Amino acid sequence: MQIHPELQALRNDDAPQRRAQQALHDAMVAWRAAPAVAAIVDDVARFAEGAELAECLALARLFVAGDASVLDLVHGFTAVGAGALMAHPLAHLPQRHYHDQVLSTLVLARAGQVTLSLAVVDGDSFARLPPARTASFWPGEAWEHVLAGRAQVEIVQNVEPRGLPVQLRREPAEMRPGDVFVRHAAREAAVLRKVAGCLVSLQLQRRHVDAGPAREYDLATGALVHQSAGDPRDSRMELSLAVLGRMGRSDAAPLMASIAREPGSESLRWQALRECLALDTRTGFATLSVIAGDPRDVLSAPAGVLRAQLVEAHPQLLEL
Amino acid sequence: MNLPKIDVSSLPDLDTLTGVFGSLVDAAKVQSSNDTIIVMMTFLYDIYPPNPGSGLI
């Protein structure tokens, strides 16, 4: 195995790497402090607090077809970022970023449920992937401004989301530089089919809180093939519940009982109920009974079934 | 009262399971219009200096 001397040296002394990282960080802080960028960052925060996009002038301009401000933003960022990386090639950009052979993303600004990010899809690598079989819908809004490259996409409308299978209407569309796409992501998905060159776009996304899970449907049949939490907080809470349960932390049972009874993700509430029952039979069964007895609660039916099963297996629960 | 101890694995899940945020079945698909991607990251070095207070990430 060959290890570059510069990397080898870092094993004994990581100070140069820390200095390089500080330099990248300082460069990006300076970039963000420029008035044009700072106005956009402020707008992202305002947008996350619920403002309409039109009220956020600097941010809204980025998603007006033909407006030059988007190129100013991206060219400004790449000039500063690339300059700093050329001076410090082993450093990382401090912003969240992701790269695989096909897709690269970089989050330019984020606040609350809102992200403003750059996305690049490499056409040659994309062509080697098997074609997408599903479309994903998630609770939120998405804006996309194509900056470079071209792509053929399929716009998939979920025209009848209630009931299964859902009805999906599929229409081909072209993405060209300067195009702006706006989607209610719970009803409309964009599935990439073919990419010429590198497709570069600026994306703005705002997730809705407590608006249900993200759902993935089979394009051919409309069958639900997967659903996942619509909010990362729900997943974090579920993982925490599982850990507390395995640790036998019965002192967490009252908190789990509150989570199970509060409005929120059905999945999170059900997991809280299960863990609560296992940690503290009395608290858990009381919570289960309350949920089962409230016909307006979406979990009422499964809670009723579970309650009947538990009572059959353990008749003494009825004495509680 | 002698209450039963209930094993969590004996308690059923809901009919439709909900995966963690960002999980997908069709992993081949590029989520070009979605930030809901779960990425496992390994940090060799801190990429963020201590006490920066700039809100970059």
Q: What is the ipTM of this complex?
A: 0.73
B10-37 average pLDDT score: 73
pLDDT tens by residue, A260-282: 999 999 999 999 999 999 999 99
CB atoms within 10 A of CB A57: 11
Show residues of chain A in contact with B28, CB under 8 Å. Answer: 129-130, 132
Backbone angles phi, psi at A117, to 5 degrees: -140, 160
Is residue B32 over pLDDT 70?
Answer: no
Report d(CA A10, CA A6) in Å as an integer.
7
DSSP H helices in B1-57: none
- Residue carrying the six token digits 């009422």: A300
The answer, for A289 touching chain B at a CB cutoff of 8 Å, is no
By the 8 A CB rule, do A104 and A39 touch?
no
By the 8 A CB rule, do B16 and A225 touch?
no
Report d(CA A318, CA A34) in Å as an integer.
67
B21, closest residue in chain A (CA to CA): A229
The pLDDT value recorded for residue A99 is: 84
Show residues of chain B in contact with A105, CB under 8 Å. Answer: 35, 37
The pLDDT value recorded for residue B33 is: 44
Where is pLDDT greater, at A213 or B51?
A213
CB atoms within 10 A of CB A208: 16
Judge: B34–A138 Cβ closer than 8 Å, yes or no.
yes
Judge: B56–A192 Cβ closer than 8 Å, yes or no.
no
Judge: A18–B37 Cβ closer than 8 Å, yes or no.
no
Could you say which architecture CATH assigns to the domain A15-228?
Sandwich (2.60)
pLDDT tens by residue, A122-158: 999 999 999 999 999 999 999 999 999 999 999 999 9
Report d(CA A57, CA A44) in Å as an integer.
10
Can you read off the two tokens belonging to residue A51? Answer: 């403002």
The pLDDT value recorded for residue B27 is: 62
Predicted model pTM: 0.85
Show residues of chain A in contact with B30, CB under 8 Å. Answer: 102-103, 121, 126, 129, 132, 192
B49, closest residue in chain A (CA to CA): A22
pLDDT tens by residue, A153-183: 999 999 887 788 999 999 999 999 999 999 9
Strand, coil or helix: what is A89?
coil
β-bridge pairing A103-111 and A114-122: antiparallel
